[in-house]
């Protein structure tokens, strides 16, 4: 089988998806949907990026402000400038380039990872193909439908993709229903599968530090952007300082404004607040294994990878209600599901998780059962390979 994956080539999620195809005996090609750079974790595939060899991610763990980090950001900026220049001087160049790539490769399957970039791109390229076209798989990532499907300017484009594709994959049962409401009719739903792959459950079991009830750390996902709402989490922590005596707060993936807010929280409240510098995935998992509580808030997501990793490492999850968390945890039993923009509700959840040792220990046991059953890297990879085999079997 020859597969052409169209996706964000500089994304770790793309790299992890491709890693699940390694060793399957298939010919895999990657076409960049947005950025010409390639993540350092991508390997074993043919990359169609205009001949450039830059690998994004190689210096992503370098300290901010260092020579390596400055060089990394400079190269990223150069690639973004090149993309914009090409689009300005040759509008539609990427669609034509993709169509040409499909004609020359003649893949059995074209698989778009994500809709707004890759899905729209593949749809437009397919329109220019004459005769029979390859089978088209669409993967719906976090906010592709749940958020953008509410905007009129995206609804028509999303519907075009869903009506034209042959197969559909997503992370949430929630999104299957939303997709059907936006035009998914003839395409086969291949399953609900984590886009970031699974976890080595044996390895993560050894990364935990004691029972959850004995941990004295609160871990906050530091995204504050078009979707992330970490400032709400920090505000909530400020509301329940009296209950946090003896606890430390650690913020990861913090932008400049979030880092400033976190340091102000520490200065004003007396809480021990630290910012985690960029670190490897293994190091990040160990932070989860030290945390009593994990807080992740956003206005839109599918399966939050942070949520599932927190579950695997025993951290009690407090997750926003926008991330189909209800498909993974039982609200009030194995975690709390909260509004992403209500610091009072988040503070209430934090106080309950601090006060109730039995709650967090029981949640850790229940969540570990869920992770073993649904997030094993072996089980998830089997689901992914089976999905591709179903696509090929449809032609027989």
pLDDT band at 78 (very low <50, low <70, confident <90, very high): confident
Q: Phi first, then psi: give them for residue 384, nearest 5 degrees.
A: -65, -50
Has residue 70 got a pLDDT over 90? no
Which of 13, 22, 180, 208 lies closest to 113, judged by CA?
13
pTM (two decimals): 0.90
Q: For 180-208, what is the mean pLDDT?
A: 94
Confirm or reject CATH 3.40.50.300 for domain 201-374, answering yes or no: no
Q: What is the pLDDT of residue 88?
A: 77
β-partners of residue 4 are 29, 110
Beta strands in the chain (DSSP E): 2-7, 27-32, 38-39, 46-47, 55-56, 109-113, 135-139, 167-170, 188-192, 217-221, 248-252, 272-275, 293-296, 316-320, 336-338
Distance CA 179, CA 36 (A): 29
Q: 58-67, 92-101, 386-395: lowest mean pLDDT where? A: 58-67
- Reading phi first (left if > 0) and then psi (alpha if -120 to 50, else beta), residue 150 is in alpha
Percent residues over pLDDT 70 in the chain: 93
Note the CATH architecture for domain 2-198+377-393: 3-Layer(aba) Sandwich (3.40)
Spatial neighbors of 370 by CB under 8 A, at least 6 apart, are: 311, 328, 329, 334
How confident is the model over 12-22, as a mean pLDDT? 95
pLDDT digits 0-9 by tens, 113-162 = 999 999 999 999 999 998 889 999 999 998 999 999 999 999 999 999 99
* Token representation of residue 153: 């300017």
pLDDT band at 396 (very low <50, low <70, confident <90, very high): very low
Structure tokens belonging to residue 270: 């007396």
CB neighbour burial string for 60-76, b if at least 16 within 10 angstroms, e if fewer = bebeeeeeebeebeebb
Crossing angle of helices 93-105 and 67-89, rounded to 10°: 90
pLDDT for 85 equals 77
In Å, what is the CA distance from 152 to each residue of 148, 161, 163, 225, 288? 9, 15, 17, 22, 39
Q: Give residue 228's pLDDT band: very low, low, confident or very high (50, 70, 90).
A: very high
Q: Determine how β-strand 109-113 pairs with β-strand 135-139.
A: parallel
CA separation for the pair 396, 387 (Å, rounded)? 15
pLDDT digits (tens, 9 = 90+) for 80-108: 777 777 777 777 888 999 999 999 999 99
pLDDT for residue 139: 97
Per-residue pLDDT band at 277 (split at 50, 70, 90): confident
pLDDT digits (tens, 9 = 90+) for 256-270: 999 999 999 999 999
Neighbours of 186 (CB within 10 A): 10
**331 pairs with which residues across the strands?**
335
**What are the residue ranges of CATH 3.40.50.2000 in the chain?**
2-198+377-393, 201-374
| DSSP secondary structure code for residue 115 in this structure | I
**What is the distance between the alpha carbons of residues 105 and 223, in angstroms, rounded to a whole number?**
39
Query: Across the beta sheet with 135-139, what order do the strands follow?
Result: 46-47, 27-32, 2-7, 109-113, 135-139, 167-170, 188-192
pLDDT of residue 364 exceeding 90, the answer is yes
**Average pLDDT in the 303-311 region?**
95
Residues 244-257 have pLDDT tens digits of 999 999 999 998 99
**Average pLDDT score over the chain:** 92
């Amino acid at each position: 089988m020859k597969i052409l994956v169209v996706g964000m080539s500089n994304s770790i999620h793309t790299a992890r998806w491709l890693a699940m195809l390694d060793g399957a005996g298939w010919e895999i090609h990657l076409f960049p949907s947005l950025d010409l750079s390639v993540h350092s974790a991508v390997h074993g595939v043919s990359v169609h990026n205009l001949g450039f060899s830059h690998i994004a991610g190689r210096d992503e763990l370098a300290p901010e402000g260092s020579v390596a980090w400055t060089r990394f950001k400079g190269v990223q900026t150069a690639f973004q400038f090149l993309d914009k220049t090409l689009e300005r001087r040759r509008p539609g160049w990427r669609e034509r380039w993709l169509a040409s790539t499909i004609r020359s490769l003649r893949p059995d399957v074209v698989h778009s990872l994500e809709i707004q970039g890759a899905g729209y791109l593949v749809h437009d390229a397919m329109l220019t193909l004459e005769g029979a076209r390859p089978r088209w798989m669409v993967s719906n990532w976090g906010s592709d439908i749940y958020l953008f499907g509410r905007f009129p300017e995206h609804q028509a484009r999303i519907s075009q993709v869903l009506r034209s594709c042959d197969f559909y994959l997503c992370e949430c049962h929630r999104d299957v229903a939303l997709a059907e409401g936006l035009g998914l009719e003839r395409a086969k739903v291949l399953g609900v599968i984590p886009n970031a792959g699974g976890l080595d459950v044996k390895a993560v079991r050894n990364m935990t530090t004691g029972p959850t009830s004995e941990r004295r750390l609160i871990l906050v996902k530091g995204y504050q952007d078009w979707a992330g709402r970490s400032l709400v989490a920090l505000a909530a922590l400020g509301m329940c300082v009296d209950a946090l005596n003896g606890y430390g707060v650690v913020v990861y993936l913090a932008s400049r404004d979030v880092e400033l807010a976190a340091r102000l929280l520490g200065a004003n409240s007396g809480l021990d607040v630290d910012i985690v510098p960029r670190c490897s995935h293994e190091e990040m998992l160990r932070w989860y294994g030290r945390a009593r509580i994990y807080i992740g808030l956003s206005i839109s997501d599918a399966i939050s990878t942070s949520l599932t990793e927190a579950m695997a490492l025993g951290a009690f999850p407090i997750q926003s209600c926008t991330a189909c968390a209800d498909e993974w945890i039982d609200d009030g039993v194995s975690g709390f599901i909260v509004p992403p923009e209500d610091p009072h509700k988040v503070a209430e959840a934090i106080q309950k998780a601090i006060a109730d040792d039995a709650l967090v220990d029981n949640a850790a046991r229940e969540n570990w059962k869920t992770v073993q059953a649904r997030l094993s890297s072996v089980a998830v990879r089997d689901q992914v390979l089976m999905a591709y085999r179903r696509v090929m079997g449809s032609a027989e």
